[in-house]
Each structure stands twice: as structure tokens, then as C-alpha cells.
Structure 1
């Protein structure tokens, strides 16, 4: 008979034991299930739009330094212009906010590749082809030799997160379809679905080529070995779920005020930490995402929001609560998928290694919104 592992002394020991027994960071409850699946349905639609636009910018707006029409996906019409000016559109600015967070924090193979000699050589070929008829930009490039190179790196991040979100969008929409068919019945089913999607797409190549005057230039060739899971998904979770940026207007960026940690590693402004109450206020980037999701909520979830205490007057805040719950499910899938050994292992040594691994994750989540959602009444 295999001895049960010694009880963890970690402050989040109960959650660790739940994970070890096959559970999730988010407790099981019918309410949690409806919120998570419903909000991921809406998020899947929005992510699809975000990813299409990011890929368009990377491929079709390459080294366009003043891309006035980058949010139009190549379809510029009078109707779309008026919708854009009236702000009756998808808020693509939020996708760029996430992309820049991922680029700034770095990490993973994509970040390392973009500093490699191989990338710099490929980028310079593409830059030379794009600027050969533009003497002014050539002059700027000579004075500031890294300027255009950094713009190419930016294009690669546009593409990297665009390809990552394409997969996640399809995954979330499939989850909703399975829920509608009665195949998704628990939070654990949600986690298993996302985990399977991450694992199945783990080795999907992340590549980027641009066409300049009829000739194709590789920037992230398949030979670079960049893949979906380790080079986009994992750095994205770290940068956007955990670190992100302080929201302007809520804290001072003045160094003397000491309201922002001096060390980048101590940033905790990501999706798992953000206070939902400011959502809806000017200058808070997630407001844009929550506004986009209001348009695609499934009726069963929208009905729950309508019958809440404040009804639809705080719709974005309610969506943010549900969204954070869903992101804890996605985080669970990532944690289990990256575990050093299968979470159900019966080998004591492997159990101990997994335990230390889980405790490391819980250290990161101690100050997150995790404890808020441990009551099924929230």
C-alpha cells in the first residue's frame, strides 16, 4: 500500500491537496461552471478577432511606421471608418497592451531567439528590402541602427501572440460547443479540456514570413524551433496572468513615490491579481476587453448578470469576476500540464517533486485573487 504524502505546511495547503487529487484552483460548483464556460465563449469570439488583427499587423503592416489603418484588417470602407470614429468596434488596443507586456517581460524561446545572430541577419535582409526605395528611413536607420530592428522584433511579438490566441480562441469556442452538447459538466472537465488543448498543440510551430515586392522573407523560420507551448503560452501566462503593468491613474509612476516595485520580478498586476472594481474606469486596460465581451455573452450567462444585485449597471465588473475565475481554470491546466510528473503518480519521490513544484506556484498566487474565489458563493 502506497503511503499518502505528508500534508503540506504551505498557507495554501488545502488548494495544493485539491490539485494533487485532480481538482482545480477554482472550487467545483454549478455557478462557477456556468460563469467559466459562458465567459470563455465570449472571450473565444473576442480572441478570434484579436488574433486575426495581430497576425494582419505582423504580416501586412510590416515596417509601416505610421499604420493608420492597422485595425481594419485590410478592409477600409466608409462604414468601418464611421464605426471606428464612433468607437463601435472591437478594442484592438487591449491586444496590443498584452503583446507589449509579453515583449517587455520577455522569457521563453521567442525572447531568446529575437536576440540571436540568426534573427538579426534575417531581420536586416527584410529591412533592406523594405527600405531600399526610402532614403529618409535609410538615413534614420544609419543614425539609429537598432530602431528598425526593434520594430521587426515587435512584429514578431504581434505574430507570436496572434498565433497563440488563434489556438486559444478555437479551444474556448470548442469548450462552449461541448458544454452545449452536455459533455462539459464540471470545472475539472473544463481544466481537462484546456489541458488537452495545450498538450495537443504544444509542438505547433510558431513562424513568421513577410512578403516584400513579391519575395518572401523569413523572420521566424520553422528551423528556429519556436513552438506554441514553451515559446508563447508559458511566457504569456507569466507576463499577462502574473506580472503585466501597473494601471496608469491608479498608482504613481514617480520613483520617489515608491508605489511600484523596483524589481520587475515583483510586478503583480496581471489578470490573476487585478481588482475587478476599477474595471469600467477610464485608463484601465482590461475595461476594453470587458467591453468587447459584453457583445458576445451567451444568453444563459447574461441572464445571471441581469438578476444580480446591481443588474447590468456593473456588467463589466461582473464579467471581470467571471473572467478571473476562468483564468484560474486556464492556469490550473498550465500548472498540471507542466508538472514534472503526472499529478496522479503514486511514486513517493515523484509526489514529493510535484509537491515542491505546486508549492512554488502557490507562492506566486498567495497575493492573487485566488482566495477570494474559494467560496462558492462569490
Structure 2
């Protein structure tokens, strides 16, 4: 098969397949898009830093606590922080837990498989016996309901796994912003390359988790399990959060007879790449909490874009969500490039054919996404870029 024979695809999103094969990103390259993507990823990186620290704190210090009233305080409780918590003048760690639970529910990858293994059951039981030593009431309940506490430990494993994943991503996004400030990042392909290099550099970073009970340390995810950053947390995260997600309460009926939610989890399209930005900013919509958190850390150059838009800051969370989706298509481009069976610029006919099938499988997932929307010209820049 010649190179020319693969030039065109019959897929409805063939244009994007050809863009990826040519080394371009799913998001158009423009100074405006670079400004938005880098700016929002800087804010997101700061928020992920807080999310990561809290998830790891909960996993390590709130292990099997029945009433973790102060789990969002990272071990630094004070009356001032409590009042800020009640007044919602704080980071919304509930969104981090929403993502963790979505990953736990959708599963996939080596972490999910390990948590169903006999080895995990043995380690979990060992930790349970140490934690409940002398607590005869809880030990009795554990005997009556032997699956309850192991399921809680599976959840703690996801707290830790997602926290470790976000730790890497936070550092990656902050370093991207630093390079942009130094003038090293000027195009969307450079943004994608930075993210891809970061994913590759940490691809085999071990994902481990242990808890200290008394004076002993108990492994939950030992290094011997062979869990790694990209395959066992990164890929399942993209699947669970970028694509599938969970239905937002109040927007669809959970009544099975109404049939508004797909019967198969694999058909879910509630992830970040599909979400309509308009509901973002409404009560009960989980991403609203993320947009609220990011609005506190938006760099001034991006804030100026929002202020000069036709609505100003009246729909700030909606604008943040639109920008965030642009950035997530850049991250997804990096993931597509990194997971491709062969280099996308290969000249080998068989490799190009395999890549084409691989890219078409991705495009099947994008047919109902916001991909077309983020590729439309943005009129918000009329005052900042008059030449447009």
C-alpha cells in the first residue's frame, strides 16, 4: 500500500485523522489558543497540586477512619480553616473525590485488575486486622460483612493512585507555563510535545501505596505489583474522566424506564471532552467545583481575555470550561501520539495502515464530542487582536 493510498479516509472526522498524521494537534494552532491553553493549564496545575496533596493525605492518614470529619484539612486543622470551609472559601476537594470515584467505578488498567487479585486481598486483610486490633465490635462486623472494608481499601488505593497521577501532571503543567513565560512555547504543537515528553518521561514511574498503623508499615500497592504511572493510572484516567464520566444529577433522569442513561458504561459520554459548557456554573454539576477552583489562579493575561469578552465575567465559569476543553484536547492529542502503535510520521505502508485504524478508532469516540466546537473561530479576541 502506497503513501498516497492512505491519504484520504472515509471517516466523518477524516480531517482530524489527516491532521494527526501530519503532526498537528486536534486543536488549531494560533497565538490565541496557545495563550488560553497555557494559561488554563497553569491554573489547573496549581489546583491539581492541592488535589494531589489532599488525596494522598486521605489515603495515608485517614485509612479506615469511620468518621473522617477533617479529611480536607491535610492535617492542619484550625478554627479559621473550619470557617473558610463552611463559607466555601477553599479548594473544592469534593471534585477530586468525584474523579476518584469515577475511576473506581469505571475501572480498567492494571490498578483495577490488581485490586481484584488474591495478593491484594491478603494485604488488605493484614492491614484490616492491624487497624482493628482490640476493636471487637468492628472485628465482629468485619466477619459479618467481609467485603465491606476491603472495598473501602480499594477506594483508598484509588485516592493514592489518582493523587500520584495528578502530582506528575501538576508539575508538568506548571513547567509548561514557566517555559511559556520564558518564550520557549509559542505553538500548540509545542504544547503537545511538552505534554507528550512529560508522559513518556514518567511512563514507568511506580505507583505504590502503603499505610503506617502503629509502628508498622503495611503495603497496599507494593512495588512488586508492577503498577506504573501511564498504563495503570493515566490511561484509565483518560477513559474515565475525559470520555465516560458520570451523568450529572439534575440534567438526566436516573430512572431506568426513562432510558436517558446508557445501559452500558462503555457508552457513557459524560466526560470532559463531551460536556456542554453552559451547565457548568450550575449547582449540582461536579465540574462547576473545578471551574470555581481554577478561577482563583487564572494568570492575568488569560483573565484579560475573559474580561473583554462580550459578557465580561458574567459567565466566567462557562468561559473557563470552554478554555479547559481546549486544553484537554491538547492533552488527548499527546496521549494519542504516545499510545500510537507506530510513529505517526512513519513511511512504512503497513505501519501507516495500522496507525490509520488506530486513529479511526479514536475518532469514533470523538463523533459526539466538543471537537468541532473547539475548532470554531473564537470571537472573544476582537478587542485583543484587532487584526482578526
TM-score of the superposition, structure 1-length normalised? Answer: 0.99
Mapped to 1, the partners of 2:250 and 2:320 lie a distance apart of 22
Whether the 8 Å CA contact 1:31–1:376 is kept in 2: the answer is: no
The gaps in structure 1 that reach 5 residues or longer are none
The yes-or-no answer on 1:198 pairing with 2:199 is: yes
Whether the 8 Å CA contact 2:243–2:274 is kept in 1: the answer is: yes
Partner of 1:185: 186
Partner of 1:292: 293
Mapped to 2, the partners of 1:60 and 1:97 lie a distance apart of 19
Deviation at 1:5, TM superposition (A): 2.4
Whether the 8 Å CA contact 2:325–2:374 is kept in 1: the answer is: no
**Cα displacement string for residues 291-342 of structure 1 (whole angstroms, at most 9, x for unaligned residues):** 0001000000001100001100100000000000000000000000000001
Mapped to 2, the partners of 1:22 and 1:352 lie a distance apart of 16
**Cα displacement string for residues 240-281 of structure 1 (whole angstroms, at most 9, x for unaligned residues):** 000010000000000011110111110000000000000110
Mapped to 1, the partners of 2:46 and 2:37 lie a distance apart of 14
Whether the 8 Å CA contact 1:29–1:376 is kept in 2: the answer is: no
Deviation at 1:377, TM superposition (A): 2.4
Partner of 1:90: 91
Mapped to 1, the partners of 2:28 and 2:61 lie a distance apart of 44
The yes-or-no answer on 1:280 pairing with 2:281 is: yes
Mapped to 1, the partners of 2:238 and 2:212 lie a distance apart of 31
TM-score of the superposition, structure 2-length normalised? Answer: 0.96
Whether the 8 Å CA contact 1:27–1:376 is kept in 2: the answer is: no
Partner of 1:78: 79
Deviation at 1:218, TM superposition (A): 0.5
Partner of 1:56: 57
Mapped to 2, the partners of 1:20 and 1:83 lie a distance apart of 49
Mapped to 2, the partners of 1:195 and 1:295 lie a distance apart of 27
Mapped to 2, the partners of 1:299 and 1:292 lie a distance apart of 16
Mapped to 1, the partners of 2:153 and 2:17 lie a distance apart of 42
The yes-or-no answer on 1:161 pairing with 2:159 is: no
Deviation at 1:2, TM superposition (A): 5.7
**Cα displacement string for residues 28-55 of structure 1 (whole angstroms, at most 9, x for unaligned residues):** 1111111100000000000000000000
The gaps in structure 2 that reach 5 residues or longer are 380-388
Mapped to 2, the partners of 1:129 and 1:233 lie a distance apart of 32
Deviation at 1:104, TM superposition (A): 0.1
Within-5 A mapping of 1:14-163? 14-163=15-164
Further displaced range: 139-148 or 155-164: 139-148
Whether the 8 Å CA contact 1:99–1:161 is kept in 2: the answer is: yes
